[in-house]
Chains A and B, each alone.
Chain A
């Protein structure tokens, strides 16, 4: 059994609902679709029992009907397990995973700034990556973002 299949079997045995939702795209690439409400259960298991110690990034997506976030993780930097979770468009939010990965803070701030997905549990801090003074409610990576033109002013500056 390949290491990728071992990971797939491990997850499917532990979480029934993952059956049919795990794809081995190629060597070292696994994609897992996780339901929103079970996201932290799966994540917790992967980190504690499967020793997924590496988070390489979080990709936020606007899939029009919903938002989504893909967590790019791996046990040792060899096999990437990409956990995808759909996030409702009406009240987009997801819990922070900073307690597992301090670096997640930067990736989660991106979700907030660029897509307007609220991340529960993010501490007070400066936004990233948009400049201070960027108008509220303008989330550039949303598919329906019209684009604040060059005449847009940054609040609190003369820019």
Chain B
């Protein structure tokens, strides 16, 4: 796309009249992005309104499908809010089971992310390996909940399925396997120069900016922000569990990678503790069909960060208001900041590093070339391919690693 010393305008738009608003608007001077804004909302379906016309149980199934990666996060956050309004204390065993599924979800999500990040920088073998390993946790989830995704584990008042004693050894064995694999990824992340060079000093976000922009999750923690809802505002069984909040201080994509792989290790620790201390007893209590008037704010540490649900009940069997603030929304402005004054070639991995909960590989990018006063729209795929080529020319090439990994 660019020759050294000569700024070449990228060849014209791929689709002249695509009629879809661009998700990324960038201004380029030379090879650097001077201004960036991220526009989301293409995935708006109208879920909050739909919730008002459905019962609480129906809403559980709808809300679970806000995001197919962190479905249990949304479902649990919602159930917690409703239970709080209704004054329901769910049984201890149910709290533990919710937490076990929550951490298994974190594991699948972080492994998924690792693969996607690998793909974005041209390290496709990493995608193949991490997604192969991810199948271990997908199998565990399918065994415990009946589905690979959208587990349907929650009900208002607890959980719908119990964990049987004979399932536990299999789960622990899977966790052991995943821990071994994760140790290997940590080693690669710590030692492989191509990876370290590619991810370091990319997508910088200072501690102050992370706070100011309201960043959440691993994105914030990689900038040293010590915030994790599991510790700050404990829910489910987290108050009973010993675990660390993982932060890093490099404030870059490399830091976000390290935070996620180390969080995987913490998740394995947490799952083992939960299974070892799993309380006896029932898995749910009866919840009334009509929830008394009231309101509650429920928070949850999803794999991407703080997930906030607000629910207002009015004494009927349908909620008066359901508001969901998913973590990715909190990170979009931080991303725009990270892109500014950086190379266009960094864009795919910088965006991917916040682990966006939207299908970003299909989004359109609008580039306003300030040097030539021209504006064009490109598919993400082209920016992605060009960025791998750009880095190859600068000696960062994953071709060899793809073969030897």
The answer to whether A and B belong to the same complex is yes
User: Is A96 positioned at the interface, with any CB of B under 8 Å from its CB?
Assistant: no
- Known contacts A102-B213, A103-B333: does B310 contact A59 (CB below 8 Å)? yes
Which residues of chain B are within 8 angstroms of A10 by Cβ–Cβ distance?
none
A77 to B227, CA, bound (A): 7
User: Is B325 positioned at the interface, with any CB of A under 8 Å from its CB?
Assistant: yes
A145 to B299, CA, bound (A): 29
Could you tell me the distance in whole angstroms from the C-beta of B323 to the nearest C-beta in chain A?
4
Could you tell me the distance in whole angstroms from the C-beta of B228 to the nearest C-beta in chain A?
8
User: Is A32 positioned at the interface, with any CB of B under 8 Å from its CB?
Assistant: no
Which residues of chain A are within 8 angstroms of B299 by Cβ–Cβ distance?
56, 80
Could you tell me the distance in whole angstroms from the C-beta of A84 to the nearest C-beta in chain B?
9
Number of B residues contacting the other chain (C-beta, 8 Å)?
Answer: 35
- Decide: A61 and B321 in contact? CB cutoff 8 A: yes
Q: Determine chain B's interface SS by DSSP, over half rule.
A: mixed
- Decide: A128 and B41 in contact? CB cutoff 8 A: yes
- Decide: A70 and B333 in contact? CB cutoff 8 A: no
User: Is B49 positioned at the interface, with any CB of A under 8 Å from its CB?
Assistant: yes
User: Is B48 positioned at the interface, with any CB of A under 8 Å from its CB?
Assistant: yes
User: Which single residue of chain A is at the shortest CB-CB distance from B42?
Assistant: A131
- Known contacts A78-B232, A82-B297, A131-B44: does B308 contact A57 (CB below 8 Å)? yes
User: Among A53, A80, A128, which residue has its beta carbon within 8 angstroms of that of B233?
Assistant: A80
A106 to B213, CA, bound (A): 12
User: Is A101 positioned at the interface, with any CB of B under 8 Å from its CB?
Assistant: yes
User: Is B12 positioned at the interface, with any CB of A under 8 Å from its CB?
Assistant: no
A18 to B167, CA, bound (A): 54
Give residues 215-256 of B contacting A (CB, 8 Å): 227, 229, 232-233
Which residues of chain A are within 8 angstroms of B330 by Cβ–Cβ distance?
56, 103
User: Which single residue of chain B is at the shortest CB-CB distance from A132?
Assistant: B21
User: Which single residue of chain B is at the shortest CB-CB distance from A31?
Assistant: B295
Could you tell me the distance in whole angstroms from the C-beta of A86 to the nearest C-beta in chain B?
14
- Decide: B41 and A56 in contact? CB cutoff 8 A: no
- Known contacts A77-B232, A106-B329, A141-B48: does B308 contact A56 (CB below 8 Å)? yes
- Known contacts A54-B214, A56-B308, A61-B312: does B39 contact A128 (CB below 8 Å)? yes
- Decide: B21 and A28 in contact? CB cutoff 8 A: no
A62 to B40, CA, bound (A): 24
Which residues of chain B are within 8 angstroms of A128 by Cβ–Cβ distance?
39-41
Which residues of chain A are within 8 angstroms of B84 by Cβ–Cβ distance?
26
Could you tell me the distance in whole angstroms from the C-beta of B181 to the nearest C-beta in chain A?
32
- Known contacts A72-B310, A102-B214, A103-B214: does B233 contact A28 (CB below 8 Å)? yes
Could you tell me the distance in whole angstroms from the C-beta of B110 to the nearest C-beta in chain A?
21
Give residues 303-331 of B contacting A (CB, 8 Å): 306, 308, 310, 312, 321, 323, 325, 329-330
Q: Which residues of B contact A (CB under 8 A)?
A: 19, 21, 37, 39-42, 44, 46, 48-49, 84, 211-214, 227, 229, 232-233, 295-297, 299, 306, 308, 310, 312, 321, 323, 325, 329-330, 332-333
Interchain residue pairs with CB less than 8 A apart (9)? A53-B211, A57-B308, A57-B325, A72-B308, A76-B227, A80-B297, A129-B44, A132-B21, A140-B46
Q: Which residues of A contact B (CB under 8 A)?
A: 25-26, 28-29, 31, 53-57, 59-61, 70, 72, 76-78, 80, 82, 101-103, 105-107, 114, 125-132, 140-141, 145, 157-158
Complex A-B, nearest 8 residue pairs according to Cβ-Cβ distance, in ascending order: A57-B325, A129-B41, A103-B214, A129-B44, A59-B323, A78-B232, A59-B310, A77-B232
